[in-house]
Structure 1
């Protein structure tokens, strides 16, 4: 869709509440208005008509994006990706099919958000080789306590997993997001730490739920999600999304391997990703 269509832009620093209030002020379209605008866009390339179609459905994107808040990704980014899917839907929408744009757009919005999540999964961003993935899955369980690893501890873990101590320390830093210690050094009588200014919200319910969801997603969650799949589905996901660079397989490669169509592989992949998504959702408390 042309860049001439001006849409509300939600950046990471903006207030999501303010954005939601803004999109909720856009009036909904009647079926007749929707058909007229879609016809004008496809028949006359009327970009103003397309803009009105998109604006009237931005609230739908917000609603869908909220369903993916458990993946540790910024809500603003999820909304923006969903907006891209909405614009793709408007471009392909055919009003004479007798289907409302809302129903048609849901698929495109979710598809764009799914693609964004896959591109930004913590595993894909942090662990790019087989050895690093092994380290990623095991580092949390092999650590004792919450303090940073010493060089001796890092070397012991490295020896067990067949990697370099430097890789262990780097992975720990990347997984922790370079967290700053809350507590001051016991030997530093004059030092201050963030704990001195922060209230103790460790047991606050929202924070506890967020920690639980993030820990599950970043450590054992993905491994358990893969283990929930049958052998064929797991191989498709691993070779399509988790293989080392240059070793991934296409739909057609896997279709030839299993003697089925590429479309059948795509269906299996889609079903497997949906099952993994459900497995990754935090368990009820």
Structure 2
């Protein structure tokens, strides 16, 4: 009979000694597993202390096995509190078991505390790591403040609506983080993973929302690039032909008013040609009409 309890390198030898205790594992038969671990007797304080000293002083792996086995029910209890994250209960228990074995290895009986109190941190730490790695495709919390918020913001929200400013400030104060970090994590929690392509099983009402339908980038399509290049060259050629068809003064006015940098004002050109600013405006307007007509004729041809 076998019970798989871990896979971390630092508990390799301990997990080896723990294996021959049952064919059962959380992933194989979760209900049966829970029945088995609940049937394992709980150690008294004296028994726990004796076993801990045997492990601590003699590296007795049989003592470690009994310490772990007697606390498996406690791991199940903690793992159940994380069921709201949508992850397999068996995997949560398995990760918690790894944390329990790490706690047993580091437990010091001379400190005068029960193993269950010491192991809480290690069990939750392993489950937290598993949740953060697997809750979303993209890791949702990377900084210390974000990790703290991830496991506290959901319980801190009193309603489904977005937090108001007072609620954000209160949560930020309670968790010792900045308000903007609270807002950012609230947005991350409200988001969801979406596949690029629509799944064949999705209904038509949902399939059209797949990013493949609206994230298509045609900027680097060879046909589009060639079309844009040809259009730009043709537009430049027709504009140049239209400008050459103007008289020299009209062409110079348009050049200075629209093509040069810095652009000349009507009054500056009026001083150059010795006419009024209104006359320059009229010449500019007439020249623009001629260019539009010239380009239009070129398009028809």
- TM-score under structure 2 length normalisation: 0.44
Higher relative CO (Cα under 8 Å, sequence separation at least 6) belongs to: 1
Larger radius of gyration: 2
